[in-house]
Chain A
Amino acid sequence: MGNLQVVYEVPKIYTGPNHYCPGCFHGIIHRVIAEILQEEGWDDISIGIAPVGCAVLAYDYIDIDWFEAPHGRACANATGIKWAWPDRLVFTYQGDGDAASIGFAETSYAAIRGVNITTIMVNNAVYGMTGGQMAPTTLVGMKTTTSPYGRDPKYAGYPLKMAEHIAQFEGTALSVRVSAFDPQHVLDMKKWIRKAFQYQMEGKGYTFIEVVSTCPTNWRMDPVKAAEFVKNEMIKVYPLGVYKDVGDEKKEG
């Protein structure tokens, strides 16, 4: 093995095996976060806030300090931790049920206060852990266990777009929607999560990353088809892109 040149090695702080269903993007996002923390040497100073949802056991998979928040209150807990330890890298890792549904107020008010934390929201359009019920982010016409004929906007409303919502607040430094359905988009996601962590370390304000993700089990698809569904259907409703970037505005002005 002497003359081998390393192209990619799984980060040491990503400790498996994990409990996620085969092909779930949670694993990819965990791994990317672990890569960034290890490459930048932030693994000793970072504190993650685990949500309630599929990622509830995230503290077992990335070897950093973690805090387990009550359902939806990850951003409120992160605020307290950040105010107590301003020099730490504090990020919340939430699903759409946690950050956009029960924790909508906490997430919004963290942005309104402009707390110096990062939220990574994994949007897979259903409540994954509880068995695939309709979430605020479910696409119109999408079949779930609580909308067996498809989501009907007449009584269930329209999908919630968090990246656009968070971008409107003055306290937000970065609001981006990324995905991970192919290697290029995984690299793109890594770039933006790294930038969000850098903004936090520079004290620029609240940073929000929404990752459009899959739920192969509750969508009743195999993982490859689920990734294609993200590429072909979900991206139309949740367009990828940068919705607010304080760094860019300063350059232009």
Chain B
Amino acid sequence: MPKKVRGVLKIREDLCKQCGLCVAVCPVHILDFSKTKINSKGYRPIELTDPDKCVGCAFCAMMCPEGVIDVYREIVEVAE
């Protein structure tokens, strides 16, 4: 089975202030504000719209002023 590197994000939703800097720099356009959640500050935190597409580049974590995002990589097997 072919293998693929996938990014995994750990998002601290309560720290997010919905500034959108991470959304603007994501190269695969999979970050967006949550449509269902509101955090304790009253903002809509970011979430991954399509976690399988994440490449783990950490651009979002580098731009985040609040330290919301930790980025990890894992190797997953792709069924094809």
Contact = CB atoms under 8 A, between A and B. Distances in A.
Interface stretch (A15-23, A86-94, A104-112, A152-160): A15-23
B51 interface: no
A25 to B, nearest CB: 7
Contacts of A1: 72
A28 B72 contact: no
A28 to B, nearest CB: 5
Contacts of A26: 65
A217 to B, nearest CB: 11
Interface string A1-45: 101111111110010111011111111101100000000000000
Interface in B8-29: 8, 14-15, 17-21, 23-25
Contacts of B21: 23, 223-224, 227
B70 A8 contact: yes
Contacts of A3: 74-75
B62 A8 contact: yes
Contacts of B65: 18, 20, 23-28, 30-31
A23 B74 contact: no
A186 interface: yes
A183 B58 CA distance: 9
Interface residues of B, number: 33
A14 B75 contact: no
The 6 A-B residue pairs whose C-beta atoms are closest, nearest first, are A27-B65, A23-B19, A22-B17, A22-B19, A10-B67, A4-B72
Given A22-B18, A27-B66, A10 B43 contact: no
Interface string B58-80: 11011111111111111100000
A187 interface: yes
Contacts of A10: 61, 67-70
A182 interface: yes
A170 interface: no
24 contacts: A3-B74, A3-B75, A7-B7, A7-B71, A8-B58, A8-B61, A8-B62, A8-B71, A9-B70, A9-B71, A14-B67, A17-B15, A17-B41, A21-B17, A22-B17, A23-B17, A23-B19, A27-B65, A27-B66, A28-B62, A28-B63, A30-B65, A223-B19, A224-B24
